[in-house]
Amino acid sequence: MKEELLQRKIIHVDMDAFYASVEQLDNPELRGKPVAVGGNSKRGVVSAASYEARKFGVRSAMSSVIALQNCPELIFVNSNFKRYQEVSDQIRKIFYEFTDKVEPLSLDEAYLDVTQNKKGIPSATLIAEEIRKKIKEKTGLNASAGISINKFIAKVASDINKPNGQKTVPPSEVLEFLEQLDIKKFYGVGKVTVKKMYRLGIFTGKDLKLKSEEFLNTHFGKSGRFYYHVVRGEHFSEVKSSRTRKSLAAERTFSENITSEIFMIKKLEDIAKEVEKRLKKSKVAGKTVTLKIKYSDFTLQTRSKTLAYYISNKDIIVETVKDLLFQSGMKNSVRLLGISLSNLNTDKGKPTKEKVVAVQLKFEF
């Protein structure tokens, strides 16, 4: 491994059962009980589950019917993303007390590079402990953390001592840690790839390490080079505190699967408002509009349209996604809708030029 990689100190902080924990925090009567965020109807889906519920096999994306079969005492609550965002903002402020190199991955997890930190604390392990302590004091919630020389190992490590724990993989233990790691834990190894790995006799990091780069390139294409290096602790990705945005998006998972197109349009209007807000905040506009649809059987479909002009107005966004929605039939009931704008005008030094389009409201009967 390169010497500069060994000197990096990366922390991955992951909140424990975040959505469900916020609900238990705000509603004392839910504490210590199995809680699921989502809808409890026949078409409902679990968005998040408390640790008490997970003991009964309740998991996110599980049918509410199956969840109740596993745990008859399960308590369902509706999601409150505005509240989750508020708590997430409080947590991120704590991160910035220690370093400006923070890369949020979602509302409940982030990478931090604390190689050089504001507190002058030499130990990344101690920094992680302090961060978790402050999160508990400020929000009342528990966080877990992984600490190592790169983002990949830190993320894997953060899951080892959950909930409310942390795991450090120092430079001297990195290679042994990776060799013992189940191949399913490696980046990019999904259901299809893992079957291929198994057929090739690759079950652990040690098995992967025995394969030559040429062998991995032959069987896994461009990913082969990545696998060859990552199992040797050579993962070069930096903590990106400010990314150049390629797209802006918002999506909603519904507590109950929906079939009504009129209801879908109402939800898309709400999502478009959020996209507009994010576009205005970032001072950008986009030309390519993409509608994301996830069906009740978890198949995913995207439909895109590229316009001749930049847009950021919610009404224009809605009219465009409505065209995409009706361009072909729906194959099933829907559990998630999302809207993204890409092909962005990212030159913030110039005012965004957006074509003014008169939008006539269309009423669906």
Confirm whether 109 is a catalytic residue. yes
Residue type, 49: A
Burial group, residue 278, by CB count within 10 angstroms (0-12, 13-18, 19+): middle
Question: Which residues neighbour 361 within 8 Å (Cβ) at sequence distance 6 or greater?
Answer: none
164 phi, psi to nearest 5 deg: 55, 50
239's tokens: 């903590």
86 phi, psi to nearest 5 deg: -60, -45
Report angle CA 287, 290, 310 to the nearest 5 degrees: 15
The catalytic position among 109, 251, 276, 364 is: 109
Characterize the bridge pairing of strands 334-344 and 286-295: antiparallel
272's tokens: 């478009």
Catalytic residues: 109
